[in-house]
Amino acid sequence: MTDKSNAQNRPVIGILGSIITTNSGITPMGRSFANDTCVRAIANNGGTPIILPFIPGAGEDAFALCDGLLFPGGADVDPHYYGEEPHEKLGEVDPEYDAFWLSAVSYAREHRLAVLGICRGLQLLNVAFGGTLYQDLSERPGKTLGHRQHEHRHITVGTARIEPGTRLQRILGEDTVPINSLHHQSVKEPGKGLTVSAYAEDGVVEGLESPDGLIVAVQWHPEDLVYPREGLPTGSVPVMNRLFQDLVQRAAGTIA
């Protein structure tokens, strides 16, 4: 861990931010944000979270504040980054937004920062390593289960099978785990140097990792499963805390 960490020796974890337009007030306003569940998951598992706002053409100074990076969920990745024309079911994309996140991947690789990817984060990491995506799961051959649940995000709707001998299996300590599912895209071809660490029941890729231990990524949303939400039915999967603990520990240099 570097001197970037705070006085309590909590590693600083940068959460890649997004922009949302809100209509509160007289005129629409763009706001930089990260989901509160991501912020809490880092804070509750030993890290100091900071939100890294999306600034086109900038970012390196912000990345330098961090011991590790969290790439959360978000919008679809522009398919031009992996050499494809847009599919009719592709969602809204923003090439500058993608470029900002891709620059964070490059910085993390160059400076060997610990990384955790979630949903879009997994997909973007895969593209950064030269992989491709199914722009919509309807493109995928064979039977594909529903991966855009209508239940609340903290409810699990399926399971992920964890590949034996992977870092993900060591982190979670399980062969299968219950997961939520909130995506319409998935990994097609894994990027160079990335290993598939988990699959859904229908074979959709649910986890990727790098052999050097710097990158762990999952397709589901563990930040929404780490604790019960007040006023809602219990749907937490406490083992998901280990993903955030692992990121913080890797960022601190306390585990390889």
Q: 99-157 pLDDT, tens per residue?
A: 999 999 999 999 999 999 999 999 999 999 999 999 999 999 988 888 888 888 888 99
Q: What pLDDT is recorded for position 116? A: 98
Is position 223 annotated as part of the catalytic site? Answer: yes
Which of the residues 119, 163, 183, 209 is marked catalytic?
119
CB 146 within 8 A of CB 184: no
Q: Quick one: CA dihedral 34, 40, 41, 46, positive or negative? A: positive
For residue 217 the two structure tokens come to 């990524």
- Residue boundaries of the structural domains of the chain: 12-252
CATH fold group of domain 12-252: Rossmann fold (3.40.50)
Mean pLDDT estimate for the chain: 91
Helix axes 241-252 and 36-43, enclosed angle (nearest 10): 60
Q: What pLDDT is recorded for position 231? A: 56
CB 135 within 8 A of CB 187: no
Which positions of the chain have pLDDT values less than 50? 7
Q: Which residue's entry shows tokens 């229908």?
A: 202
Q: Is the pTM of this model over 0.85?
A: yes
Distance separating alpha carbons of residues 241 and 159, to the nearest angstrom: 17
Nearest to 102 by CA among 138, 83, 126, 86: 126
CB 51 within 8 A of CB 67: no
Which H or E element spans position 36? helix 36-43
Q: What pLDDT is recorded for position 237? A: 92
Q: What pLDDT is recorded for position 31? A: 79
Amino acid identity of 24? S
Is position 221 annotated as part of the catalytic site? Answer: yes
Is position 163 annotated as part of the catalytic site? Answer: no
